[in-house]
Structure 1
Amino acid sequence: MKAISYAQTGGPEVLRLTERPIPDPGPGEIRVRVRVSGVNPTDWKSRQGVTTGGKMAFPEIVPNQDGAGIVDAIGPGVTGFEAGQRVWLWESAWQRPTGTAQEYTVLPVRNVVPLPDNASFDLGATLGVPALTAHRALTVTEGGPARLAPGALDGRAVLVAGGAGAVGHAAIELARWAGAEVVTTISSDEKATLARAAGAHHIVNYRTENAAEAIRKIFPGGADLVVEVAPAVNAELNEAVLAQGGTIAVYANNGGESLTQTIRPLMTLNARYQFLLLYTMSDTVKAHAIEDVTAAVAAGALRVGEEAGLPLHRFPLARTADAHAAVEAGAVGKVLIDIE
């Protein structure tokens, strides 16, 4: 089978198209014929060795955490799946040497999820890192819901920073599905159009208007929850717009690794910062997120494509290096790799 792999950390140029044997599933495992592989920032950061100090976790690695495809073979002891079933994949390459940038992949059954009939493989390949991260960000508030469903966030004011990104897009859609009122910050008219298509009730361009004043006009009582992609850059803004008892859920470090925060105002607000990373969340939290995200997909609440606010950028398997480079360069929308 064809696969993309790398044997040393570095830039996109370390990725190579290779031939590998088709793997057989062992006990508790499923082999999936991958149709679409999704690329996330975590994939190029892993390839560069950002999280491993430049070291290779395995002698050779097939990248990419997310994907969607068709069940091809089932290992001993696996129930609830059958050959030909459509599925989506998550954490494919977490602490494992093989991800979804290949024609076939073998995964533990926990990393394989049935894909609702109304969902495309493109949508399935975007659910892992972005949607599961967004779910966690929306369920960390004190006194708030641990699960998402229609009505779970009724009456909540949610600010999504960077609503044109993949996680921001998923956060907008999930928050709306759960009943929240959503405002998002963007930096251009193009991104405003995308955030509006995703379903944001209110759009604030932080380059052309006073973001704090605009958000306070929308949410006089402040934002109950901020889904934050750039905490170092937005610390002052978040302090200015956060509601009493509000939460800032941080899922990325765009704009800087160090955060400087004024303490007393947040003490007065009884505010909280919640930092989160999908890979190290508890199994219970992940299980709940998978169930809720799948329900949202079945309800038509999660969508992809230009008309849904998440443009798709497609590459063939042989151009996986270009796909990684596009994500690293900040491509607006979602980068996908067509395996077939």
Structure 2
Amino acid sequence: MRAITYSTFGAASDVLALVDLPTPAPGPGEVLVELAISGVNPSDVKARGGTRPGVTKPPFDQIIPHSDGAGTIVAVGDQTDSDRVGQRVWIWNGQWQRPQGTAATHIVVPSEQAVPLPDGVTFETGAILGIPGLTAAEAVFGQGDVKGKTVLVQGGAGTVGLLAVQLAKWGGAHVIATARGAGVDAARAAGADAVIDYGDAELAQAILQQNNSQPVDHIVEVELGINIDTDAAVIAPNGTISVYGSAKDMQPSMPFGPLLFKAVTIDILLIYLLPPKARQKAIARLHAALADGALTCPVARVYGLADTAEAHVAVEQGGRAGAILVDVRR
């Protein structure tokens, strides 16, 4: 098989290499997937760059990056239903705590990590359902249904944010999003009832104005550290804040008093560690939204396997209008 690998931390162009490796064979309870598309996420480029706190060297001698992908099952191991051969699937946690991810023509994963791809859903969409899709679904619905509630999506023009806007709207919520520039139109097109420039000097007041001067029930939060004061000001008593990122301030200072006297629940998400029952619920939500035609997974650009380093740079630069994908077939 062909694969992108790295053995040391560093810039993508310096450490990523296209190599030929033996195609792995599935063991008991595993499936071999011939991949079509690999998804590139911020966590993938951070892991390759060695920017995670306390991590000084790669955990394996040779790593094939990326956790998300989609393709077709071509072989199964013992204790796995042989009828799965030929099934179109999407992958979650491909390279989580293991050396071989989806930046390759093939991957072996436990059978449950290869989810049947619904009819009519493209491989490109399938490669976005792992980290972005599951994060959005859990961030919106992890604390319960949102029908009749107001949901604020901070960063509503990012890949996760756009999915969260669509899912919250599909779930029956009044959706307010924050974005900037072209992202304002993107979030509005995704279904947000109101979109506010997150650079507004009176952001909290602007959010409340878009909710009839009432606090919001639930917040999907991409940058806890820089947004927590605004969140504390606009959240309703007994409201929830589902947090999936705080890259710009990894040691946020919490306004504990305002949060305490509203009895706010802060739910910090790491989608890799989502418990099985919660993951199955999130998968079911994504598939249902897709079946209803309520979920579109935006793609900014698709690269070839040999150009994976360029795909990593595109993710690092940010400002994307959708996901960055790698077509491993070319």
Normalising by the smaller structure, the TM-score range is: over 0.9
Task: For residues 35-86 of structure 1, give each alpha carbon's deviation from its aligned partner in whole angstroms, at most 9, with x where no partner exists.
Answer: 1100000101111233361221111000000011111112111128522221
Is 1:75 the equivalent of 2:77?
yes
1:11 matched residue in structure 2? 11
Q: Secondary structure at the match of 1:138?
A: helix
1:336 matched residue in structure 2? 325
1:285 matched residue in structure 2? 278
Task: Verify the 8 A CA contact 1:48 1:54 in the aligned structure 2.
Answer: no
Q: Which moved more, 1:203-212 or 1:221-230?
A: 203-212
1:307 matched residue in structure 2? none
List aligned pairs for 1:253-332, cutoff 5 A.
253-304=246-297, 310-332=298-320
Is 1:203 the equivalent of 2:205?
no
2:55 matched residue in structure 1? 53
Corresponding letter in the other structure for 2:328: I
Q: Provide the C-alpha distance between the structure 1 equivalents of 2:280 and 2:57, rounded to a whole number of angstroms.
A: 30
Q: Provide the C-alpha distance between the structure 2 equivalents of 1:81 and 1:290, rounded to a whole number of angstroms.
A: 21
1:182 matched residue in structure 2? 175
Task: For residues 235-261 of structure 1, give each alpha carbon's deviation from its aligned partner in whole angstroms, at most 9, with x where no partner exists.
Answer: 121112111111111101132111112
List aligned pairs for 1:178-257, cutoff 5 A.
178-188=171-181, 190-208=182-200, 210-219=202-211, 220-257=213-250
Aligned length: 325
Q: Provide the C-alpha distance between the structure 2 equivalents of 1:331 and 1:183, rounded to a whole number of angstroms.
A: 20
Task: Verify the 8 A CA contact 1:30 1:74 in the aligned structure 2.
Answer: yes
Q: Provide the C-alpha distance between the structure 1 equivalents of 2:61 and 2:35, rounded to a whole number of angstroms.
A: 23
Deviation at 1:163, TM superposition (A): 0.8
Runs of 5+ consecutive residues of structure 2 not aligned to the other structure: none
Which 4+ stretches in 1 moved above 3 angstroms? Answer: none
2:139 matched residue in structure 1? 137
Q: Secondary structure at the match of 2:204?
A: helix
Runs of 5+ consecutive residues of structure 1 not aligned to the other structure: 146-151, 305-309
Task: Verify the 8 A CA contact 1:68 1:87 in the aligned structure 2.
Answer: yes
Q: Provide the C-alpha distance between the structure 2 equivalents of 1:263 and 1:134, rounded to a whole number of angstroms.
A: 26
Q: Secondary structure at the match of 2:261?
A: helix
1:115 matched residue in structure 2? 117
Is 1:90 the equivalent of 2:92?
yes
Q: Provide the C-alpha distance between the structure 2 equivalents of 1:30 and 1:176, rounded to a whole number of angstroms.
A: 36
Q: Provide the C-alpha distance between the structure 1 equivalents of 2:201 and 2:246, rounded to a whole number of angstroms.
A: 24
Q: Provide the C-alpha distance between the structure 2 equivalents of 1:334 and 1:49, rounded to a whole number of angstroms.
A: 22
Task: Verify the 8 A CA contact 1:119 1:298 in the aligned structure 2.
Answer: no
Q: Which moved more, 1:29-38 or 1:263-272?
A: 263-272
Q: Which moved more, 1:54-63 or 1:71-80?
A: 71-80
Q: Provide the C-alpha distance between the structure 2 equivalents of 1:283 and 1:36, rounded to a whole number of angstroms.
A: 25
Identity level (%): 41
Deviation at 1:198, TM superposition (A): 1.4
Task: Verify the 8 A CA contact 2:50 2:57 in the aligned structure 1.
Answer: yes
Deviation at 1:297, TM superposition (A): 2.1
Deviation at 1:265, TM superposition (A): 1.5
Q: Provide the C-alpha distance between the structure 1 equivalents of 2:261 and 2:164, rounded to a whole number of angstroms.
A: 27
1:149 matched residue in structure 2? none
TM-score for the superposition, normalised by structure 1: 0.92
Deviation at 1:197, TM superposition (A): 1.8
1:41 matched residue in structure 2? 42
1:148 matched residue in structure 2? none
**For the aligned residues, what is the CA RMSD?**
1.5
